[in-house]
Amino acid sequence: MEEIGISDVAHGAGPVELLLVRHGESEGNVAATEARIAGAEVIDVPARDPDVNLSDVGQEQAKALGVALSRISPELRPDTVISSPYARAQQTARIAVEVAGWPVTVTTDERLRDRELGILDRLTGRGVDKRYPEEAERRLWLGKLYYRPPGGESWADVALRLRSILNELDNPARGQRLMLVCHDALILLVRYVLEGMSEKEILDLASSTSVLNASVTRFVRPSGVGPWTLDSFNVADHLTEQNVAVTEHGGDANVHPQ
């Protein structure tokens, strides 16, 4: 990856680098995949979504991420690390930062939490079809960006809270280099916001790409002002290099309005 030197930063400018990390594999990821394979209607998760922990593989992925981060020279390390408040993201962030040896405190922000599913929480696609057929039909009609389950959020709702935190972080007081540890949908939606994607573009991306566990996405802005540029997306080479499993736990690929 191209390194941005301190001398490249304009005086008084905002952040020059933004790293987005998906949490390592969680026990919920494993349970959801097993439920889909078994044709079950309900995902047998061990706890409510905010409290689901990393799996054993997820912990190894977080450590491997930390080893990769330790290779970043001190002057180019993120000076701000913010995590989703969900356990799996906090665990990933703290393990990685500790292994990397970074002298930075991981903070949390509720705006980085995963999308809330309301009455569809813990249900597989089959479960939604069987238990809430009208919602399944409405979801197909509206598409992923605008469908909001009762008691839950649409992707557009999530994008609104992401715009809030990204605007707040676009401030020299928050640091020159930022790392956010969060969830797959949020990483896709940060791309949607920062790249000014259309509905079709974000849904095409979501239908064709799963954000890998413990992967890294990087945006850069050498001057510290103006639009961001995507430098790399969904990189998990650090896992392969350390013989740690690369896991793919994506959502429903049927995301376009029909």
CB 149 within 8 A of CB 135: yes
Is the residue at 254 inside a domain?
no
Q: Tens of pLDDT along 61-86? A: 999 999 999 999 999 999 999 999 99
pLDDT band at 11 (very low <50, low <70, confident <90, very high): low
Digit-coded pLDDT (tens) for 127-164 = 999 999 999 999 999 999 999 999 999 999 999 999 99
Report the DSSP beta bridge partners of residue 176.
none
Comparing 3-12, 149-158, 191-200, 245-254, which segment has the lowest mean pLDDT?
A: 3-12
Is there a domain that residue 227 lies in?
A: yes
Whether residue 7 is predicted with pLDDT greater than 60 in this model: the reply is no
Q: In what order do the strands lie in the sheet with 229-235?
A: 106-108, 80-83, 177-182, 17-22, 216-220, 229-235
Residue type, 32: A
**What average pLDDT does the segment 97-118 reach?**
98
Answer whether residue 196 is part of any domain: yes
Per-residue confidence (pLDDT) for residue 250, from 0 to 100: 78
From residue 67, how far is each of 15, 54, 61, 211, 238 by CA, in Å? 24, 18, 10, 20, 8
CA distance 113 to 230: 22
Residue 193, CB-side half-sphere exposure with 13 Å CA sphere:
20
Residue 94 within any structural domain of the chain: yes
pLDDT of residue 21: 98
For residue 159, the enclosing domain spans: 14-241
Structural domain count, the chain: 1
The pLDDT of residue 1 is above 90 = no
> Are 85 and 108 within 8 A, CB to CB?
yes
Residue 205 lies in a domain: yes
What's the DSSP call for residue 40?
A: -
CATH number at residue 107: 3.40.50.1240
pLDDT tens for 18-40 read 999 999 999 999 999 999 999 99
Has residue 257 been placed in a domain? no
How high is the pLDDT of residue 252?
77
In a domain, 2, yes or no: no
